[in-house]
């Protein structure tokens, strides 16, 4: 038969998915490998989706999303970040994953390069390969608190570099950019005339300080609308399976977005968009409650790890713990994680699934019941 496209053969498999699929074949697994919120969806969000289905609101919507939803996102963004954005800049996507892929497709050509964080979420390296582009990792080093170092980005820029992906709060690390570092990254992008793709999916889940949005900082004095923002309802509102995200682009891109949306998805389904409107317009108390739940779980988890002498990175955001298992993994954390899963019935994500710099570390999702979280961590081998 005809061969698969060569660039598709270069797409790396997900190490997280490998652990998840093995876990599904086993009984009694404590699942800490996947970023799935354990809190319920707020009742007013469920009611909005149910009402849309009951009313048979099942036809096409505008390619870029319902105007009401785009305005709701723009209003929520302005309220949260103190920076107004035009709703025309907002495109409704099938989760943050499609927003990321769409952004990369809009700025990368075949053979062109994008700088991606390492460790960083697996799709940062998968999506460019699907576009015949080249992901170039930039290391987030333990010595620098796993934060981007502008001076180490400079040597990675070539004539083919078109963009850089920045993720704050970070998945898998939970690190959060402060304003000084965020502005330094924008200045780096301006200096090299790069697009910035800012993954801000976890923007509402910070613990120590408010989220610093690169979209909000992207003004005329920083180079002007070179940031493409990726957002989602999945983690903030526990709507992972509903699949509603947002891509914020430069003002004059609206016609192009409608075209690529038509070619890729046509539109996001109407009941899901109604749920997202309710989420953004409704009371945000359940978001604050979820954030405190994750914070409390983090405190309990880090207390346990500290007592057992296991190293970790204290996160400032998101819903993950980055744990040092180099003492146990023998240079193959992926193999160790699968063995640990089969023998202990605890699923954790191997750090190497997020890039070479993650070797020896694991990611644990703290959006779980306290009992499951502490049980899983209690079985990790101590130094």
The C-alpha atoms of residue 201 and residue 215 are separated, in whole angstroms, by: 12
Across 306-335, average pLDDT: 98
At residue 103 the predicted structure's pLDDT band, cuts being 50, 70 and 90, is very high
* Cα–chain center distance at 308: 30
Residue 138 pLDDT greater than 80, yes or no: yes
Residue 224 pLDDT greater than 80, yes or no: no
Task: Spell out the domains of the chain, with CATH numbers in brackets.
Answer: 6-41+285-378 (3.90.1150.10), 59-281 (3.40.640.10)
Residue 14 pLDDT greater than 90, yes or no: no
Q: What is the pLDDT of residue 225?
A: 86
The long-range contacts involving 4-7, CB below 8 angstroms and separated by at least 24 positions, are 7/129, 7/130, 7/131, 7/132
Across 157-174, average pLDDT: 98
The long-range contacts involving 283-287, CB below 8 angstroms and separated by at least 24 positions, are 283/42, 283/44, 286/39, 286/42, 286/237, 287/204, 287/236, 287/237
At residue 364 the predicted structure's pLDDT band, cuts being 50, 70 and 90, is very high
Q: What is the pLDDT of residue 98?
A: 98
Burial class (CB in 10 A: 0-12, 13-18, 19+), 309: exposed
Q: What is the pLDDT of residue 219?
A: 77
Residue 223 pLDDT greater than 80, yes or no: no
Residue 345 pLDDT greater than 90, yes or no: yes
Buried b or exposed e, range 62-79, using 16+ CB within 10 angstroms? ebbbbeebbbbbbebbee
At residue 13 the predicted structure's pLDDT band, cuts being 50, 70 and 90, is confident
Residue 303 pLDDT greater than 70, yes or no: yes
* pLDDT, averaged across the chain: 96
At residue 221 the predicted structure's pLDDT band, cuts being 50, 70 and 90, is low
Q: What is the pLDDT of residue 374?
A: 98
Q: What is the pLDDT of residues 104-126, one digit of tens each?
A: 999 999 999 999 999 999 999 99
Q: What is the pLDDT of residue 222?
A: 60
Q: What is the pLDDT of residues 188-217, one digit of tens each?
A: 999 999 999 999 999 999 998 899 999 999
Q: What is the pLDDT of residue 341?
A: 98
* pTM across the whole model: 0.96
Q: What is the pLDDT of residue 358?
A: 98
Q: What is the pLDDT of residue 220?
A: 61
The long-range contacts involving 156-161, CB below 8 angstroms and separated by at least 24 positions, are 156/115, 157/115, 157/192, 157/194, 158/113, 160/111, 160/112, 160/113, 160/134, 161/112, 161/113, 161/114, 161/115, 161/136, 161/192, 161/194
């Amino acid at each position: 038969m005809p061969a698969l496209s060569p660039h598709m053969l270069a797409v790396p498999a997900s190490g997280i998915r490998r652990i998840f699929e093995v876990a599904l074949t086993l009984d009694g697994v404590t699942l800490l490998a996947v970023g799935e919120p354990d809190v319920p969806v707020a009742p007013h969000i469920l009611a909005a989706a149910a009402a849309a289905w009951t009313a048979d609101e099942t036809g096409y919507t505008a390619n870029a999303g319902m105007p009401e939803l785009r305005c709701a996102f723009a209003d929520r963004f302005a309220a949260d970040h103190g920076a107004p954005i035009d709703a025309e800049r907002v495109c409704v996507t099938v989760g943050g994953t499609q927003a990321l892929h769409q952004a990369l497709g809009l700025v990368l050509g075949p053979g062109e390069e994008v700088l991606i964080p390492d460790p960083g979420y697996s799709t940062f390296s998968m999506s460019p390969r699907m576009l015949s582009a080249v992901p170039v990792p930039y290391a987030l080093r333990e010595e620098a608190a796993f934060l981007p170092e502008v001076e180490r980005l400079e040597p990675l820029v070539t004539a083919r570099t078109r963009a850089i992906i920045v993720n704050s709060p970070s998945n898998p690390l939970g690190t959060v950019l402060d304003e000084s570092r965020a502005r330094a990254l924008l200045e780096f992008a301006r200096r090299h005339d790069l697009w910035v793709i800012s993954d801000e999916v976890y923007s509402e889940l910070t613990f120590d300080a408010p989220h610093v949005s690169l979209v909000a900082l992207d003004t005329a004095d920083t180079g002007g609308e070179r940031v493409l923002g990726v957002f989602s309802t999945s983690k903030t509102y526990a709507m992972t399976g509903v699949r509603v995200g947002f891509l914020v682009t430069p003002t004059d891109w609206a016609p192009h977005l409608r075209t690529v949306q038509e070619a890729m998805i046509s539109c996001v389904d109407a009941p899901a968009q109604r749920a997202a409107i309710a989420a953004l317009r409704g009371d945000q108390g359940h978001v604050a409650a979820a954030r405190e739940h994750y914070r409390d779980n983090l405190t309990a988890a880090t207390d346990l790890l500290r007592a057992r002498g296991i190293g970790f990175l204290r996160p400032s955001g998101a819903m993950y713990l980055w744990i040092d298992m180099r003492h146990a993994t023998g240079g193959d954390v992926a193999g160790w994680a699968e063995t640990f899963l089969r023998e202990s019935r605890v699923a954790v994500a191997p750090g190497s699934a997020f890039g070479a710099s993650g070797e020896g570390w694991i990611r644990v999702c703290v959006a779980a019941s306290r009992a499951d979280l502490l049980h899983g961590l209690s079985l990790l081998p101590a130094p």
